[in-house]
Structure 1
Amino acid sequence: MMRTFAIGDIHGGLKALTQVLNKLEIKDEDTLIFMGDYVDGWSESAQVIDLLIDLSETINCIFIKGNHDVWCEDWLRNKEVNPTWYIHGGKETMDSYEGYSVEQKKIHLEFFENTRMYYLDDKNRLFLHAGFTSMHGVEREVVKETLYYDRTLWEMALTMDKTIDKDAVIYPNRLKHYSEIFIGHTPTTNFNESEPMHAANVWNVDTGAAFKGKITGINIDTKAFVQSDNLPGLYPNEKGRNK
Structure 2
Amino acid sequence: MNLQLCVRDPAEAAWAVRAGAAGVEVMSAAPEVIRAVVTRLRLLRDGVVVGAGIGPLAAPTPSAVRQRVLRIADCGVDRVRVPVPARPSSVLLLTQLGQLAREGVPVTPVLRVPLDRGDGAAWAQRLSLATRQGFASVLLDARGTDAQGSDLWQQRVSPERLLGAFDGLRRMDVPVGLLAAPRRADLPQLLRWAPDEVVIDCGREDPREGRVVDAYQFDQWVAALKGFQAPASRSNGGLASAWA
Question: Shorter chain as normaliser: what TM range?
Answer: 0.3 to 0.5
What TM-score does the superposition give when structure 1 sets the normalisation length? 0.40
Q: TM-score, normalised by structure 2?
A: 0.40
- The higher-RCO structure (CA 8 Å, 6+ apart) is 1
Higher strand share: 2
